Protein backbone atom coordinates (compact mmCIF):
# COMPACT_ATOMS: atom_id res chain seq x y z
CA UNK A 1 0.00 0.00 0.00
CA UNK A 2 1.20 3.55 -0.69
CA UNK A 3 1.13 5.49 2.60
CA UNK A 4 1.78 9.11 3.53
CA UNK A 5 2.83 9.65 7.15
CA UNK A 6 2.91 13.13 8.67
CA UNK A 7 4.40 13.59 12.13
CA UNK A 8 7.48 11.40 12.62
CA UNK A 9 8.22 12.06 16.28
CA UNK A 10 8.58 9.66 19.22
CA UNK A 11 5.32 7.91 18.31
CA UNK A 12 4.94 8.50 14.58
CA UNK A 13 8.54 7.60 13.68
CA UNK A 14 8.43 4.01 14.97
CA UNK A 15 4.90 3.51 13.60
CA UNK A 16 6.05 4.59 10.12
CA UNK A 17 9.15 2.41 10.39
CA UNK A 18 7.03 -0.64 11.21
CA UNK A 19 4.84 -0.03 8.16
CA UNK A 20 7.91 0.30 5.93
CA UNK A 21 9.45 -2.85 7.43
CA UNK A 22 6.23 -4.72 6.58
CA UNK A 23 6.71 -3.84 2.90
CA UNK A 24 4.50 -0.77 2.47
CA UNK A 25 5.71 2.23 0.47
CA UNK A 26 5.88 5.01 3.08
CA UNK A 27 6.54 8.67 2.31
CA UNK A 28 6.85 10.81 5.42
CA UNK A 29 7.05 14.44 6.48
CA UNK A 30 7.97 16.12 9.75
CA UNK A 31 8.84 19.70 10.67
CA UNK A 32 12.01 18.43 12.36
CA UNK A 33 14.94 16.98 10.45
CA UNK A 34 14.46 13.23 11.00
CA UNK A 35 15.59 10.02 9.35
CA UNK A 36 13.35 6.94 9.62
CA UNK A 37 14.55 3.62 8.27
CA UNK A 38 12.66 2.63 5.15
CA UNK A 39 10.71 5.91 4.93
CA UNK A 40 11.19 8.32 2.01
CA UNK A 41 11.07 11.92 3.22
CA UNK A 42 8.98 14.54 1.43
CA UNK A 43 9.44 18.31 1.40
CA UNK A 44 5.90 19.00 2.68
CA UNK A 45 2.81 17.36 4.09
CA UNK A 46 1.01 17.84 0.77
CA UNK A 47 3.81 16.08 -1.09
CA UNK A 48 3.69 13.14 1.34
CA UNK A 49 -0.09 12.90 0.87
CA UNK A 50 -0.12 13.06 -2.93
CA UNK A 51 -1.08 9.74 -4.48
CA UNK A 52 -1.29 7.90 -1.15
CA UNK A 53 -4.03 5.35 -0.49
CA UNK A 54 -3.85 6.11 3.24
CA UNK A 55 -2.47 9.25 4.88
CA UNK A 56 -1.63 8.90 8.59
CA UNK A 57 -1.11 11.87 10.89
CA UNK A 58 0.38 11.82 14.41
CA UNK A 59 0.32 15.42 15.67
CA UNK A 60 0.49 17.28 19.00
CA UNK A 61 -2.93 18.96 19.20
CA UNK A 62 -6.17 19.87 17.46
CA UNK A 63 -5.01 23.23 16.14
CA UNK A 64 -2.05 21.68 14.35
CA UNK A 65 -4.25 18.86 13.05
CA UNK A 66 -6.68 21.38 11.53
CA UNK A 67 -3.81 23.25 9.83
CA UNK A 68 -2.24 20.07 8.45
CA UNK A 69 -5.65 18.81 7.28
CA UNK A 70 -6.27 22.04 5.39
CA UNK A 71 -2.97 21.50 3.59
CA UNK A 72 -3.22 17.81 2.77
CA UNK A 73 -6.92 17.19 2.04
CA UNK A 74 -6.76 19.05 -1.32
CA UNK A 75 -3.69 16.97 -2.26
CA UNK A 76 -5.26 13.60 -1.46
CA UNK A 77 -6.84 11.30 -4.04
CA UNK A 78 -10.61 10.77 -3.91
CA UNK A 79 -11.42 7.56 -2.05
CA UNK A 80 -8.23 7.67 0.02
CA UNK A 81 -8.30 7.30 3.80
CA UNK A 82 -7.31 10.13 6.15
CA UNK A 83 -6.22 8.29 9.31
CA UNK A 84 -5.45 10.59 12.24
CA UNK A 85 -3.75 8.87 15.18
CA UNK A 86 -3.23 12.05 17.23
CA UNK A 87 -4.93 12.57 20.58
CA UNK A 88 -6.94 15.78 20.13
CA UNK A 89 -10.23 17.33 21.16
CA UNK A 90 -13.38 15.67 19.87
CA UNK A 91 -14.54 18.85 18.11
CA UNK A 92 -11.34 19.08 16.04
CA UNK A 93 -11.53 15.39 15.12
CA UNK A 94 -15.11 15.75 13.91
CA UNK A 95 -14.43 19.01 12.02
CA UNK A 96 -11.47 17.48 10.15
CA UNK A 97 -13.48 14.35 9.38
CA UNK A 98 -16.29 16.48 7.94
CA UNK A 99 -13.84 18.37 5.70
CA UNK A 100 -12.29 15.10 4.54
CA UNK A 101 -15.67 13.55 3.74
CA UNK A 102 -16.71 16.61 1.73
CA UNK A 103 -13.57 16.07 -0.37
CA UNK A 104 -14.55 12.46 -1.10
CA UNK A 105 -12.23 10.85 1.47
CA UNK A 106 -12.79 8.34 4.24
CA UNK A 107 -11.87 9.79 7.62
CA UNK A 108 -10.81 7.91 10.76
CA UNK A 109 -9.79 9.28 14.15
CA UNK A 110 -7.70 6.58 15.82
CA UNK A 111 -5.85 7.72 18.95
CA UNK A 112 -3.60 5.13 20.50
CA UNK A 113 -2.76 3.60 23.85
CA UNK A 114 0.57 1.93 24.56
CA UNK A 115 3.14 4.75 24.54
CA UNK A 116 6.55 4.83 22.86
CA UNK A 117 7.23 1.19 23.73
CA UNK A 118 4.00 0.14 22.04
CA UNK A 119 4.81 2.23 18.97
CA UNK A 120 8.25 0.63 18.64
CA UNK A 121 7.05 -2.89 19.35
CA UNK A 122 3.93 -2.69 17.19
CA UNK A 123 1.68 -3.41 20.19
CA UNK A 124 -0.49 -0.28 20.28
CA UNK A 125 -4.24 -0.30 20.84
CA UNK A 126 -6.22 1.90 18.43
CA UNK A 127 -9.58 3.41 19.38
CA UNK A 128 -11.18 4.20 16.03
CA UNK A 129 -14.01 6.47 14.97
CA UNK A 130 -15.18 6.76 11.37
CA UNK A 131 -16.85 4.89 8.53
CA UNK A 132 -16.82 1.13 7.99
CA UNK A 133 -15.11 1.30 4.60
CA UNK A 134 -12.22 3.38 5.94
CA UNK A 135 -11.80 1.03 8.90
CA UNK A 136 -11.69 -1.99 6.58
CA UNK A 137 -8.99 -0.34 4.43
CA UNK A 138 -6.89 0.63 7.46
CA UNK A 139 -7.31 -2.64 9.38
CA UNK A 140 -4.19 -4.33 7.89
CA UNK A 141 -2.16 -1.27 8.93
CA UNK A 142 -3.57 -1.37 12.47
CA UNK A 143 -2.50 -5.03 12.60
CA UNK A 144 1.09 -4.02 11.79
CA UNK A 145 1.30 -1.01 14.11
CA UNK A 146 -0.65 -2.52 16.99
CA UNK A 147 -2.19 -5.55 18.63
CA UNK A 148 -5.79 -4.34 18.76
CA UNK A 149 -8.09 -1.91 16.94
CA UNK A 150 -11.59 -1.26 18.24
CA UNK A 151 -14.11 0.42 15.94
CA UNK A 152 -15.99 2.70 18.34
CA UNK A 153 -18.52 4.19 15.93
CA UNK A 154 -18.70 7.40 13.88
CA UNK A 155 -16.09 10.16 13.60
CA UNK A 156 -14.96 11.55 16.94
CA UNK A 157 -15.79 8.40 18.88
CA UNK A 158 -12.18 7.24 18.85
CA UNK A 159 -11.17 10.42 20.67
CA UNK A 160 -14.15 10.06 23.00
CA UNK A 161 -13.06 6.53 23.94
CA UNK A 162 -9.46 7.61 24.52
CA UNK A 163 -10.26 10.53 26.81
CA UNK A 164 -12.88 8.61 28.80
CA UNK A 165 -10.43 5.74 29.30
CA UNK A 166 -7.64 8.08 30.38
CA UNK A 167 -9.93 10.01 32.71
CA UNK A 168 -10.52 6.71 34.54
CA UNK A 169 -6.77 6.06 34.52
CA UNK A 170 -5.90 9.49 35.94
CA UNK A 171 -8.48 9.22 38.71
CA UNK A 172 -7.53 5.67 39.69
CA UNK A 173 -3.79 6.42 39.72
CA UNK A 174 -4.37 9.33 42.10
CA UNK A 175 -6.50 7.13 44.36
CA UNK A 176 -3.85 4.37 44.27
CA UNK A 177 -1.06 6.80 45.19
CA UNK A 178 -3.14 8.37 47.97
CA UNK A 179 -3.87 4.93 49.39
CA UNK A 180 -0.21 3.82 49.35
CA UNK A 181 0.85 7.06 51.05
CA UNK A 182 -1.84 6.57 53.71
CA UNK A 183 -0.82 2.91 54.17
CA UNK A 184 2.79 4.03 54.72
CA UNK A 185 1.73 6.47 57.42
CA UNK A 186 -0.42 3.81 59.09
CA UNK A 187 2.56 1.45 59.23
CA UNK A 188 1.25 -1.02 56.64
CA UNK A 189 3.96 -2.83 54.66
CA UNK A 190 3.79 -2.02 50.94
CA UNK A 191 4.00 -5.63 49.86
CA UNK A 192 1.13 -6.53 52.19
CA UNK A 193 -0.83 -3.56 50.83
CA UNK A 194 -0.26 -4.76 47.27
CA UNK A 195 -1.09 -8.39 48.09
CA UNK A 196 -4.43 -7.37 49.61
CA UNK A 197 -5.54 -4.69 47.14
CA UNK A 198 -4.40 -6.47 43.97
CA UNK A 199 -6.57 -9.47 44.81
CA UNK A 200 -9.61 -7.73 46.29
CA UNK A 201 -12.06 -4.96 45.54
CA UNK A 202 -9.33 -2.32 45.07
CA UNK A 203 -8.03 -4.19 42.01
CA UNK A 204 -7.24 -1.89 39.07
CA UNK A 205 -4.77 -1.55 36.22
CA UNK A 206 -3.05 1.24 38.19
CA UNK A 207 -2.05 -1.16 40.97
CA UNK A 208 -1.96 -4.56 39.27
CA UNK A 209 -0.08 -3.68 36.08
CA UNK A 210 1.54 -0.30 36.81
CA UNK A 211 2.03 -0.18 40.57
CA UNK A 212 3.36 3.26 41.63
CA UNK A 213 5.33 1.76 44.55
CA UNK A 214 8.90 0.66 43.67
CA UNK A 215 9.75 -2.99 44.23
CA UNK A 216 6.12 -4.08 44.41
CA UNK A 217 4.23 -5.89 41.65
CA UNK A 218 5.37 -6.11 38.00
CA UNK A 219 8.14 -3.84 36.73
CA UNK A 220 6.88 -0.29 36.22
CA UNK A 221 8.35 3.23 35.89
CA UNK A 222 8.40 3.38 39.72
CA UNK A 223 11.26 0.85 39.53
CA UNK A 224 13.19 3.17 37.21
CA UNK A 225 13.10 6.40 39.22
CA UNK A 226 9.73 7.33 37.69
CA UNK A 227 11.30 7.87 34.28
CA UNK A 228 8.19 8.27 32.15
CA UNK A 229 6.40 5.43 30.48
CA UNK A 230 3.46 7.83 30.30
CA UNK A 231 4.52 11.34 31.29
CA UNK A 232 2.50 13.34 33.80
CA UNK A 233 2.19 16.20 31.30
CA UNK A 234 0.58 13.84 28.77
CA UNK A 235 -1.90 12.70 31.40
CA UNK A 236 -2.64 16.36 32.08
CA UNK A 237 -3.25 16.93 28.35
CA UNK A 238 -5.74 14.06 28.22
CA UNK A 239 -7.54 15.16 31.40
CA UNK A 240 -7.88 18.67 29.97
CA UNK A 241 -9.33 17.22 26.75
CA UNK A 242 -11.78 15.18 28.84
CA UNK A 243 -12.91 18.28 30.74
CA UNK A 244 -13.25 20.27 27.51
CA UNK A 245 -15.46 17.50 26.13
CA UNK A 246 -17.43 17.33 29.39
CA UNK A 247 -18.15 21.06 29.20
CA UNK A 248 -19.28 20.78 25.58
CA UNK A 249 -21.51 17.79 26.42
CA UNK A 250 -22.81 19.31 29.69
CA UNK A 251 -21.57 16.25 31.61
CA UNK A 252 -20.92 16.31 35.36
CA UNK A 253 -17.42 14.86 35.94
CA UNK A 254 -16.22 16.05 39.38
CA UNK A 255 -13.58 13.34 39.82
CA UNK A 256 -12.18 14.00 36.36
CA UNK A 257 -12.05 17.70 37.13
CA UNK A 258 -10.28 17.06 40.45
CA UNK A 259 -7.75 14.81 38.70
CA UNK A 260 -7.09 17.48 36.07
CA UNK A 261 -6.50 20.09 38.78
CA UNK A 262 -4.14 17.84 40.75
CA UNK A 263 -2.07 16.95 37.68
CA UNK A 264 -1.95 20.62 36.69
CA UNK A 265 -0.57 21.48 40.13
CA UNK A 266 1.89 18.56 39.94
CA UNK A 267 3.16 19.38 36.44
CA UNK A 268 3.04 23.18 36.43
CA UNK A 269 3.55 24.09 40.09
CA UNK A 270 5.68 21.27 41.45
CA UNK A 271 8.23 18.76 40.08
CA UNK A 272 5.98 16.59 37.92
CA UNK A 273 7.15 17.81 34.50
CA UNK A 274 9.16 15.05 32.81
CA UNK A 275 8.22 12.40 35.39
CA UNK A 276 5.88 9.46 35.02
CA UNK A 277 2.26 10.08 35.96
CA UNK A 278 2.64 7.51 38.76
CA UNK A 279 5.16 9.82 40.48
CA UNK A 280 2.10 11.14 42.31
CA UNK A 281 3.09 8.60 45.01
CA UNK A 282 6.26 10.37 46.22
CA UNK A 283 4.30 13.62 45.94
CA UNK A 284 1.66 12.41 48.39
CA UNK A 285 4.29 10.79 50.63
CA UNK A 286 5.96 14.17 51.14
CA UNK A 287 2.74 16.03 51.93
CA UNK A 288 0.75 16.45 55.11
CA UNK A 289 -3.00 16.79 55.41
CA UNK A 290 -4.37 20.17 54.38
Overall domain count for the chain = 2
Catalytic residue among 162, 185, 237, 288: 162
Question: Which pLDDT does position 117 carry in this prediction?
Answer: 87
Distance CA(278)–CA(204), nearest Å, equals: 14
Claim to verify: residue 25 and residue 99 sit in the same structural domain: yes
According to DSSP, the β-strands at 124-130 and 146-153 are parallel
R_g over Cα of the chain: 20
Claim to verify: residue 218 and residue 87 sit in the same structural domain: no
Question: Is the CA virtual torsion 184, 187, 192, 196 positive or negative?
Answer: negative
Q: Which residues contact 205 (CB under 8 A, 6 or more apart)?
A: 169, 172
Boundary of a domain, candidates 154, 169, 189: 154
For this structure, is 185 an active site residue? Answer: no
Q: Structure pTM?
A: 0.91
Claim to verify: residue 87 and residue 24 sit in the same structural domain: yes
Q: State how far Cα 45 lies from the chain centre.
A: 22
Nearest CA to 143 among 19, 288, 12?
A: 19
Question: Which pLDDT does position 119 carry in this prediction?
Answer: 94
Query: Containing domain of residue 223, as a range?
Result: 160-286
* H or E stretch at 118: helix 115-121
Walk along the chain (290 residues) and give the pLDDT tens digit of each residue.
999 999 999 999 999 999 999 999 999 999 998 999 999 999 999 999 999 999 999 999 999 999 999 999 999 999 999 999 999 999 999 999 999 999 999 999 999 998 888 999 999 999 999 999 999 999 999 999 999 999 999 999 999 999 999 999 999 999 999 999 999 999 999 999 999 999 999 999 999 999 999 999 999 999 999 999 899 999 999 999 999 999 999 999 999 999 999 999 999 999 999 999 999 999 999 999 97
Strand partners, 51: none
Amino acid sequence: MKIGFIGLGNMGGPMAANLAKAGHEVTGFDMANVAIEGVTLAASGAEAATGAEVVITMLPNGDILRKVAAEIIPAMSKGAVFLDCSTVDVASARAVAEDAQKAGLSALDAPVSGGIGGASGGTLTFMVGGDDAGFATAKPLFDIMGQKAVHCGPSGNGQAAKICNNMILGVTMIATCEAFALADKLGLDRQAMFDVVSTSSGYSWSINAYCPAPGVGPQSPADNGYKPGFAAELMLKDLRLAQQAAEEADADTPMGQAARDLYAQFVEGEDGLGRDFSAMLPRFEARKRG
